[in-house]
Amino acid sequence: MTDDMQDTTPDLEVRTLLRVLDGQRRHVLGTLDGLDAEALRRPVLPSGWHCLGLVQHLALDVERFWFRAVVAGDEHVIHGLTSGDEAWRVAPEVPAVDVLDGYRQETQLADAVIRSTPAGAGPAWWPHDLFGEPHLHTLRDVLLHVITETACHAGHLDAARELIDGHRWLVLT
């Protein structure tokens, strides 16, 4: 959410959680600012993932999955879900800017779901085949889960960026 947008979210707690999530999203994108397409695709860890793949994972497996599928129950999204690590793989012909813009777009779509859903609302859909019985019971639970996952991956990106070119997002000494 940008500062110039008026927040119409009725619930103070949800507004606060959304601000925290937005801070983590800015961290993700800010950490990668200034990297060229080649660097964004360079694997730096033995597992072989690269920054662009992690951003695509955040867009598809986190923002889209948790908010548009689980919270909103969007049938189109649910039927289009993939399994495994497919979201982590970015085809070579896909421009890096498209992946980064895709993440921004998914965060905007997620924000619309968040703003229109009461904090205590339960999931509209639950992936029993992946997780068994629901363990996230409200929008509040999903927001906390996504904040945690996004922050964790922002830390991964911090480490990857430092390995790529020595740049560090924020260092307080």
* Domain of residue 27, CATH code: 1.20.120.450
Residue 76 has pLDDT above 50, yes or no: yes
Domains: count for the chain: 1
Q: Is residue 60 part of a domain?
A: yes
CA distance 56 to 49: 11
Q: Is residue 4 part of a domain?
A: no
Handedness of CA 170, 108, 135, 19 (dihedral sign): positive
Residue 72's nearest CA partner among 15, 116, 35 is 116
Distance, C-alpha 95 to centroid of its chain: 19
Q: Which helix (H) or strand (E) holds 55?
A: helix 51-57
Grade residue 9 by pLDDT with cuts at 50, 70 and 90: low
Model confidence pLDDT, tens digit, residues 14-68: 999 999 999 999 999 999 999 999 999 999 999 999 999 999 999 999 999 999 9
% of the chain surpassing 70 pLDDT: 92
